[in-house]
Amino acid sequence: MTYSTTPPGSQQALAAVLPAELLGLFDDTFVRSCELLEEYVHRLAVGVFRSTGLEHACTESATVSEAVRRAGLAPEIAQVPAAWILHTLASRGWIEQVDGSRYRCLPALSAPDPEEIFAAQTTYDPRCLPGYRIAALAAEHYPGVLRGTVTGEDALFAPDHIGAWLEYFSNDNPLYAIANSVGAIAAAHALPIDGATVLELGGGLGSGAEALLDHLQKADTGKTLLAYRFTEIVPAFLRRARKLLSARFSGQPVSFAWLDMNEPFARAGVAPGSCSLVYGVNVLHVARDLATTLAEIRHALADDGALVFAECVRPFADRPLHVEFVFNLLDSFRAPLLVPGWRPNGGFLTPEQWTAALEANGFGSIEVLPDIVTLRADYPSFMVAAISARRAA
Ligand SMILES: C[S@@+](CC[C@H](N)C(=O)[O-])C[C@H]1O[C@@H](n2cnc3c(N)ncnc32)[C@H](O)[C@@H]1O
């Protein structure tokens, strides 16, 4: 059987709703690969439903908490990932949602084969396979992590998996690179013409910085940098990024420092009011206390400075996203400090929640590129955006 999704031609429809500068990024290959990866992850989730004991636990109808308890999983770890699995399988009609909060197995749970989708992606565009390998890695570790025998961090970031992450957080992986590309476009808009001082948070292995520095050079934006301060919390990532970026951008004023965004930025030598742009790709959603991190960012910005961050944005509150299948295993993703109104859950936020978070923490002039609120009725799976904001007066 050949798995097929959106037929080619979705590009014309997107052209009506996306700014021209973004359109080329969301080509048919990208859109179809996203759909394939989502299908792959959903099929993996069926296997995890079984391997974690949740299937057996839902023989009789169960709330998420009951299912977690019946399956003997660690409640403080398993609640969020189990809710994701039950909600997702019910949304596919693979299990039954009995009422608002209870789930039950159907008489025969079909077992759609994930490998069929992996094969389809291999034929269609193998550059997207890193996301599949990371999802398969997560699936393998679900039982151990949800039982509390290993942490998600230890399981996913063990030394022998670093190669998989290098391939994943890369501009050669179209499904990850999209956030870097959208972020670079928004950041270039926000930069002053010259003399910009940039602070990047959670720069990881350097793919976000690489895309932004490339964009500034190639797109002939006319913007010049006085300083680009690349920071990251994991020393091994920082070392790799320094190697990559120093070699690729030897003519640019890039410096490197360790910085924990949960701590005062002064500890990393960031002076108050010193930045024209604070930038981050896929990092702010793991801030332990978003208010504290936003206060630090505000403090670091010059009066006319901007915050730009590219994120996976949740189009609709409470609707699971396939990327969460992996990151729900990580404590930092799952369990930040929650704030009613704008930080109701760990992980990804909606455009409205980001806007409320920024407004509540001294930012204004907020823009979301592309405008997910307008897009989401026709494109309910559209989930990448760059959010820009400036210090409110
Ligand atoms: C999803 S990765 C994104 C990496 C990079 N921005 C890129 O796009 O290639 C998130 C990054 O945030 C970093 N991170 C996590 N917690 C952090 C913290 N408290 N302070 C600074 N960086 C953090 C991680 O180590 C990781 O490199």
- pLDDT tens string 328-384: 999 999 999 999 999 999 999 999 999 999 999 999 999 999 999 999 988 888 899
Q: Give me ligand 1 centre to Cα 204, in Å.
A: 5
What is the torsional sign of CA 54, 60, 66, 72? negative
- From the CA of 67, how far away is ligand 1's center (Å)? 33
Question: CA-CA distance, 258 to 254, in Å (whole number)?
Answer: 14
The pTM score is: 0.93
Q: Does residue 5 carry a pLDDT above 60? A: no
The answer to whether residue 4 scores a pLDDT higher than 90 is no
**382: DSSP letter:** -
Query: What pLDDT, in 10s, does the model give residues 285-315?
Result: 999 999 999 999 999 999 999 999 999 999 9
Alpha helices in the chain (DSSP H): 10-15, 20-23, 28-51, 54-57, 64-70, 75-91, 114-124, 129-147, 152-156, 162-168, 174-190, 207-218, 235-248, 290-300, 324-327, 331-334, 351-360, 372-375
Give the pLDDT of residue 15.
Answer: 82
pLDDT of residue 10: 65
Choose the residue to mutate in 240, 286, 327, 333 for probing ligand 1, maximizing ligand atoms within 8 Å of C-beta.
286
Kindly give the distance from the C-alpha atom of residue 6 to the centroid of ligand 1, in angstroms, as a whole number: 33
The whole-number average pLDDT for the span 163-185 is: 96
Q: What is the mean pLDDT of the chain?
A: 94
What pLDDT score does 108 carry? 84
Measured from the Cα of 176, ligand 1's closest atom is: 8
As for ligand 1, residues whose beta carbon falls within 6 Å of it are: 169, 180, 201-205, 207-208, 232-234, 237, 259-262, 281-283, 286, 332
Give the mean model confidence (pLDDT) for residues 265-291.
97
Separation of CA 12 and ligand 1 centre (Å): 35
Q: What is the mean pLDDT of residues 190-213?
A: 95
Domains of the chain: 10-168 (no CATH), 175-315+350-391 (3.40.50.150)
CA 184 to ligand 1 centroid distance, Å: 17
Residue 8 predicted with pLDDT over 90: no
